[in-house]
Amino acid sequence: MRTFLAIACLIGLSAPAFAESAISPAQAKKQLEQGNQRYMTGKSIHARIDPVTRERTAQQGQKPVATILGCSDARVPPEIIFDQGFGELFVVRVAGNVCSTAELASVEYGVKYLKTPLVVVVGHTKCGAVQAAVAGGELKGSLPKLVGMITPAVDETKTKFPKKTGDDLLNAAIEANVRKSIKDMLANSPGLEQAIKNKQVEIVGAIRDIEHGGVKWLAP
């Protein structure tokens, strides 16, 4: 853990040179799209974690195809909704899929050291954190700080779509919040921004529908 923290701190000091992955961003995205289709049709090819895979990853390390920044919601486990196997995703989860220092350092680690060619920020319908930001009101503990990171996306949505209410407003705010996390990521990571310009990495947004299980990929 100390080694990881030391590396994460070093990442933030300069714009790192990101190494190229063995697969392209488009190939990684295609793998996730195909996995989501298998998940939706109940045809998972990763029904369990076998001892051989566990031992192999323990000895040879992890080689994930994508870094996922997703919400902590128990209904949105990335490995399941994308039907990916043990060690195939580098996952960072936090309520509201926000991107502050710890999340950004983790994403940078996935891209720089694990060479993931794709970063996906995954939001989802009926997100409680975004609902709290839309509703306003008093919150306890540290929740106001978390919701405060989502509020700008909600305010932007209300300004852009003044007539939206209810689920329409919430869904638009959920999408805006995914886009905000991507913007925060790029604004605070010169290394990621440069890697995108060099076409080494692609960052995309997605929304997982709680009802039918599908993933909607957001346009750039």
> Distances from the Cα of 213 to the Cαs of 35, 37, 152, 192, 209, in angstroms?
12, 9, 28, 30, 5
Q: How far is the C-alpha of 176 from the C-alpha of 152, rounded, in Å?
A: 9
Q: 44 near 88, Cβ under 8 Å?
A: no
Looking at the structure of the chain, the number of domains it has is: 1
pLDDT, residue 169, reads: 98
Model confidence, pTM? 0.87
> Distances from the Cα of 66 to the Cαs of 62, 114, 156, 198, 209, in angstroms?
11, 9, 29, 17, 20
CATH number at residue 157: 3.40.1050.10
pLDDT in tens, the chain (220 residues): 444 444 444 444 344 455 567 889 999 999 999 999 999 998 988 766 677 878 888 999 899 999 999 999 999 999 999 999 989 999 999 999 999 999 999 999 999 999 999 999 999 999 999 999 999 988 999 999 999 999 999 999 999 999 999 999 999 999 999 999 999 999 999 999 999 999 999 999 999 999 999 999 999 8
DSSP calls for 42-66: T--S-SS--HHHHHHHHHH----SE
Q: Per the structure block, which two tokens stand in for 151?
A: 């509020």
Kindly give, in sequence order, each residue whose CB lies less than 8 Å from that of residue 161, ignoring residues fewer than 6 positions away: 168, 169, 172
pLDDT, residue 46, reads: 78
Closest to 103 (Cα-Cα) out of 181, 168, 196: 181
Find where tokens 């195909």 sit: 34
User: Strand, coil or helix: what is 95?
Assistant: helix
Q: Which domain holds residue 209?
A: 2-217
pLDDT, residue 6, reads: 45
Closest to 78 (Cα-Cα) out of 218, 217, 208: 208
